[in-house]
Structure 1
Amino acid sequence: MKSRLRTALLSLSALASTPALAEPLADADRTAILAEVDRGAPAMARNALQIWSWAEVGFQETKSSGLLQKDLKAAGFKVTAGVAGMPTAFIASFKNGDGPVIGILAEYDALPGLAQAAEPERHVIDGIAGHACGHNLFGAASVAAAIATKNWMVAHGIKGELRVYGAPAEEGGSGKVFLVRSGLTKDVSAMLHWHAGDGYSAMQGHALANVSAKFRFHGLASHAAAAPERGRSALDGVEAMDNMVNMMREHVPQETRIHYVITDGGKAPNVVPDTAEVYYYVRHPDQQQVADIMERVKKAAEGAALGTGTTVEYDQIGGTFDLLPNDTLGHVMYDNLKQVPLPTYTAQEQAFIDKIAATLPKGGRKQAGGVAPYSSGEIMSASTDVGDVSYTTPTAGMSAGTWAPGTPPHSWQAVAASGNSVGTKGAEVAAKTLALTAVQLFQSPDTLAAAKKELDERRGPDFVYRSLLGDKAPSLDYRKAPVSKN
């Protein structure tokens, strides 16, 4: 935990001395860039809503990825698809001579089990997934920002390379980890990203490191009434493991989060299931701690198999670092976010927000007033594969108000707003902020140098990147339902 304390102290120090290296954009330049994004806003909204309607889960986002690639190619980017062993990943590059490399991350995967209409009441629709984290908005707005930035570079002769990283399977598949591990981000001067949310912020905080895995138990099938003694229940193995892990919760660091779902428990009560599967996440602010705790979970699985006469297989799915703040870049992004006009809503849109709020505990929360004050170093109780990016290249992010205030991520309310003009209006703010920040950084070599120095100081002189996934290949089928033998 010494590294965590050191990082927290650096965050406090950064707050005390705000970096002021980047020259602010001239008013005329800012106005021109905002207008450039405005021209592309209708296409951005169409893309976001189209991706929302497809709602493709991790590593299966063929149509969503293809749509974004098509627009980038049409805008003059060179697109390389299927990078880092992931068919739906891509890198789109526009190079205009030698200079800095600025990257923009794009996501587009949906979450299973949350198909929902774009309506302010619970209305389940056909489909296996829904955009409950707003990645349809994320991908579309990042591409819109990149196209606007590219057009600006051409018009003003700005030197350097602009890249869009199409990163699949953020929800558990650790897509960006494979991009980093393959060395595809190592020459990036600054990486920018954003996320859907219920307010506007450029807070640069920490996320939780995360290791996820599936445990597959194998037993012997038999008639559950006529010959139970001949069976060995794989489901018993899963339930015994879950009981032991639940008892373990008392004996792990208090910052730990452990959650699981049984993804296969058999098909009929009168058949002793010979296969069963449980899917686990383990989170903690420290990467080593999360790896150590998962080893204890593995021991629980082995003990459960021994006690139930079954066997168990361990299949690691994901593994992500915590998120490393970069205040040098964060302040640039914050200053630009404050310069972007926030949306005004039609009467119909405001009614949608109000109806959504009425479905939330205590009616949600009061409408956020503008951009939240800048902060750094807070530990957020969620995980992201942006963490690995942030440990290897200077990285900054922001959130935009795409949902009704008080809306939790991974909820039907988030799905509904992400498929509505309320969501696309918030995404437009993100696109403008990313474009302004990218343009400013292309013209601020001192800021990029300071951001790299800050990264080096935060991660320490002895840092060597080693993925929590080791040399494991992407789990391209991790969202597919397991096939039971029963």
Structure 2
Amino acid sequence: MPRNNDFSPDKNLALDWIDDHAGRLSEDHLTIWNLHEPSWREYKSAAWYVERLKAEGFAVEAGSGGMPTAFSAVWSNGDGPTIGGYAEYDAVPGASQDPVPHRQPRVGVSPHAAGHTDPHSALGMGSFTGFLAAKHVMERSGIKGRLKFFGEPAEKMCGSKPVHAAKGYYDDLDAAISFHPHSFPRLANSCFWDTHSAPYWSRIYTFECASPETWQNSGAVTGVAHSHSAARAPGAIDAVCLMYSSSKFMKESMLPHHGSWSLNEFILHAGQAAADNIAPGLGQIQYSLRAPTLDMCARVFEVLDRNAEHCAAMTHCKVTARWITRTRAGLANHAMAEVAWRNFEAIGAPQYNDEARLFGRKIQESLGIAPMEDPFTPEIQHLTAPWDGEKAFREQLPPWQTNLAADDYVDYTWHAPTVRLYVGRPTLRAPDPGYRYPDWTRYAMGGVPACIDPMWLTAGKVIATTILDLLTDGVSLNKAVAEFRERTGGGIGGSKWVAPLLPKDFAPPVHYRWPEYVTTVRGEEWTIPTAAS
């Protein structure tokens, strides 16, 4: 990469390091992409990061916060500020796709298996790249400071960051950098300004029919004691079905029709009884909510808790409720956005070569769309200032709403000044207004280096140069910390500070029956045992 005249020698050194190591880093990204492990079950992906970080000289705590697929890694070059960042690496069940320009689930696994959607494989590699480049420059130039790099599993459940926050892992950070592939076209290459992500709460309700024989005490009609002659308790399947249907009916009344909230459910267990005369003994249903405010979240789960108690009573079950996650609303920090944006402006948006464009055109051909000379949207190829992106956000939101969508990075924002960096991922240009490409097209491009590498390499450069500014320019970090203290009323524990919503002794929900790959005498398979074809 040519020397950037807007940058110091140290920042140009970071860019050179990334360019020099881009080939190996690209292979590393494909390693994580090809593991495609789902939430709470990213065993191989987490182990890969742990070994690489150890090889780079980081002191690594594997399984941090009681989460087997999390980690906390620290590297120090002497007394100085601590800058935090993280990798994610969870894939999404049902999103399996090979890196080919037509719909084709990955060969050799169930079509219902997991695949990288956002993709978190590239999210993790972009952040990892930026931290390694900054570390290299700190060593070469004698820059003092600490780098603290986390492995954050289960982001699709907003899982690990509230746990790390509750257990104090972020309390020693002076600043943090959160990177994500773009989700909002009008904010494809930018930083959040005022409108950050909203709270996300999730809870599992477990119904158990532990004493089915006490459902009715009357004897058998024939006078012969026999289980086939007795009324069977409704049991746990009925409990889950009633919970599902009653909450669906009440969904419209849980919150007013504004604020872009959503409530979804996932059935983990239904039954565990295969005989007609045995009451189903176990049923589990998970509810996940994203809503603009903590108060709205509390009101929804008040209704769900009440529904669960009544459904359990009707089906001769007992019910227990357990939180999976509870995140806060994101806290803005303009100073952090400004320093990252300055570097982004100097580096520029991702650029796509002929190989990437050819792959995009092949996708268009497979969908019956006339291939375009440049198949990628213009938004992912130019920059948007944070304040212009904020204006686009506000155009679609009511004035009272200060948070939108959901992501658990928000828990970083209450422990250190944090920037939320967005970088454009490959996105195809629509042939007509309103046309929407199938989701598999994005998944496929995530496994094609020519398409995906420009996004996370650009992110790595912005992250590395931002870290160096925070550690060396004598202004950016002080300004960010001062703003953080003002917004929280004095920092952690301040008068306007919101504490973690999970307790310090929270046990991470790793023991539930989450989708995963398993090895049996039949070989390795997805937990939905369908044919691989």
TM beyond 0.5: yes
Contact 1:94 1:163 (C-alpha < 8 Å) held by counterparts: yes
Query: What SS class does the counterpart of residue 35 from structure 1 fall into?
Result: helix
Query: What SS class does the counterpart of residue 217 from structure 1 fall into?
Result: strand
Taking a change above 3 Å as real, the CA distance of residues 240 and 468 of structure 1, as seen in their structure-2 partners, is same
Match of 1:475 in 2: 509
* 2:476 counterpart (447, 456, 472): 447
Distance 1:415 1:167 in 2: 21
* 1:309 counterpart (313, 316, 325): 316
Match of 1:165 in 2: 150
Query: What are the superposed Cα offsets for residues 310-364 of structure 1, whole Å, 9 maximum, x if unpaired?
Result: 3322122111112112111001111111222444333332132345568899999
Contact 1:402 1:417 (C-alpha < 8 Å) held by counterparts: no
Match of 2:69 in 1: 88
Match of 1:264 in 2: 269
1:199-218 aligned within 5 A: 199-204=188-193, 205-218=195-208
Q: How many residues align?
A: 458
Alpha-carbon shift at residue 386 of structure 1 (Å) = 1.0
* 1:350 counterpart (344, 347, 357): 357
Contact 1:261 1:280 (C-alpha < 8 Å) held by counterparts: yes
Match of 2:238 in 1: 236
Percent identity for Structure 1 against Structure 2: 29
Match of 1:299 in 2: 306
Alpha-carbon shift at residue 381 of structure 1 (Å) = 4.2
**Which range moves more in the overlay, 465-474 or 267-276?**
267-276
For 1:372, the aligned partner's letter is T
Contact 1:105 1:164 (C-alpha < 8 Å) held by counterparts: yes
Taking a change above 3 Å as real, the CA distance of residues 35 and 269 of structure 1, as seen in their structure-2 partners, is farther
Alpha-carbon shift at residue 149 of structure 1 (Å) = 0.4
Distance 1:188 1:409 in 2: 41
Contact 1:193 1:434 (C-alpha < 8 Å) held by counterparts: no
Alpha-carbon shift at residue 455 of structure 1 (Å) = 1.9
Alpha-carbon shift at residue 430 of structure 1 (Å) = 0.5
Taking a change above 3 Å as real, the CA distance of residues 405 and 342 of structure 1, as seen in their structure-2 partners, is same
Alpha-carbon shift at residue 275 of structure 1 (Å) = 2.5
For 2:192, the aligned partner's letter is M
**Which range moves more in the overlay, 405-414 or 427-436?**
405-414
Distance 2:413 2:351 in 1: 33
For 1:180, the aligned partner's letter is A
Distance 1:70 1:50 in 2: 13
**Which range moves more in the overlay, 182-191 or 228-237?**
228-237
Distance 2:288 2:86 in 1: 24
1:374 equivalenced with 2:386 (yes/no): yes
Distance 1:274 1:479 in 2: 16
Distance 2:437 2:320 in 1: 31
Distance 2:453 2:305 in 1: 43
Match of 2:339 in 1: 332
1:152 equivalenced with 2:137 (yes/no): yes
Contact 2:376 2:426 (C-alpha < 8 Å) held by counterparts: no
Match of 1:273 in 2: 280
For 1:241, the aligned partner's letter is M
Distance 1:140 1:472 in 2: 29
Query: What SS class does the counterpart of residue 191 from structure 1 fall into?
Result: strand
* 1:48 counterpart (19, 29, 40): 29
Contact 1:106 1:193 (C-alpha < 8 Å) held by counterparts: no
Contact 2:177 2:463 (C-alpha < 8 Å) held by counterparts: yes
Alpha-carbon shift at residue 426 of structure 1 (Å) = 0.9
Taking a change above 3 Å as real, the CA distance of residues 85 and 442 of structure 1, as seen in their structure-2 partners, is same
For 1:47, the aligned partner's letter is D
Distance 1:228 1:257 in 2: 43
The structure with the largest alpha-carbon Rg is 2
Contact 1:337 1:433 (C-alpha < 8 Å) held by counterparts: yes
Contact 1:196 1:403 (C-alpha < 8 Å) held by counterparts: no
Query: What SS class does the counterpart of residue 411 from structure 2 fall into?
Result: helix
Query: What SS class does the counterpart of residue 123 from structure 1 fall into?
Result: coil
Taking a change above 3 Å as real, the CA distance of residues 374 and 173 of structure 1, as seen in their structure-2 partners, is closer
Distance 1:360 1:247 in 2: 38
Alpha-carbon shift at residue 30 of structure 1 (Å) = 3.6
Query: What are the superposed Cα offsets for residues 152-191 of structure 1, whole Å, 9 maximum, x if unpaired?
Result: 1111111111221122222215211222222121121110
Query: What are the superposed Cα offsets for residues 212-244 of structure 1, whole Å, 9 maximum, x if unpaired?
Result: 11222234599xxx7794131422222222232
Alpha-carbon shift at residue 207 of structure 1 (Å) = 1.0
**Which range moves more in the overlay, 140-149 or 467-476?**
467-476
Contact 1:95 1:162 (C-alpha < 8 Å) held by counterparts: yes
1:393 equivalenced with 2:404 (yes/no): no
For 2:383, the aligned partner's letter is V
Distance 1:153 1:134 in 2: 29
Contact 1:208 1:321 (C-alpha < 8 Å) held by counterparts: yes
Query: What are the superposed Cα offsets for residues 243-284 of structure 1, whole Å, 9 maximum, x if unpaired?
Result: 322233332133232111223334769676332221110221
Query: What are the superposed Cα offsets for residues 406-436 of structure 1, whole Å, 9 maximum, x if unpaired?
Result: 7999943332222221112211011011001
**Which range moves more in the overlay, 409-418 or 168-177?**
409-418
Match of 1:98 in 2: 79
* 2:496 counterpart (437, 460, 463): 463
Contact 1:234 1:276 (C-alpha < 8 Å) held by counterparts: yes
Query: What SS class does the counterpart of residue 190 from structure 2 fall into?
Result: coil
Match of 2:530 in 1: none
Contact 1:57 1:479 (C-alpha < 8 Å) held by counterparts: no
Taking a change above 3 Å as real, the CA distance of residues 261 and 87 of structure 1, as seen in their structure-2 partners, is closer
1:434 equivalenced with 2:463 (yes/no): yes
Taking a change above 3 Å as real, the CA distance of residues 360 and 134 of structure 1, as seen in their structure-2 partners, is farther
Contact 1:392 1:465 (C-alpha < 8 Å) held by counterparts: no
Taking a change above 3 Å as real, the CA distance of residues 265 and 80 of structure 1, as seen in their structure-2 partners, is closer
Distance 1:109 1:462 in 2: 36
Distance 1:388 1:72 in 2: 24
1:8-27 aligned within 5 A: 26=7
Query: What SS class does the counterpart of residue 419 from structure 2 fall into?
Result: strand
Distance 2:238 2:198 in 1: 31
Distance 1:293 1:76 in 2: 46
Please, which runs of 5 or more residues in structure 1 have no aligned partner? 1-23
Distance 1:466 1:228 in 2: 53
Taking a change above 3 Å as real, the CA distance of residues 120 and 320 of structure 1, as seen in their structure-2 partners, is farther
1:113 equivalenced with 2:94 (yes/no): yes
Distance 2:29 2:376 in 1: 26
Contact 2:39 2:514 (C-alpha < 8 Å) held by counterparts: no
Taking a change above 3 Å as real, the CA distance of residues 174 and 247 of structure 1, as seen in their structure-2 partners, is same
**TM-score, normalised via structure 1 length:** 0.85
Please, which runs of 5 or more residues in structure 2 have no aligned partner? 216-227, 394-401, 431-435, 517-526, 528-533
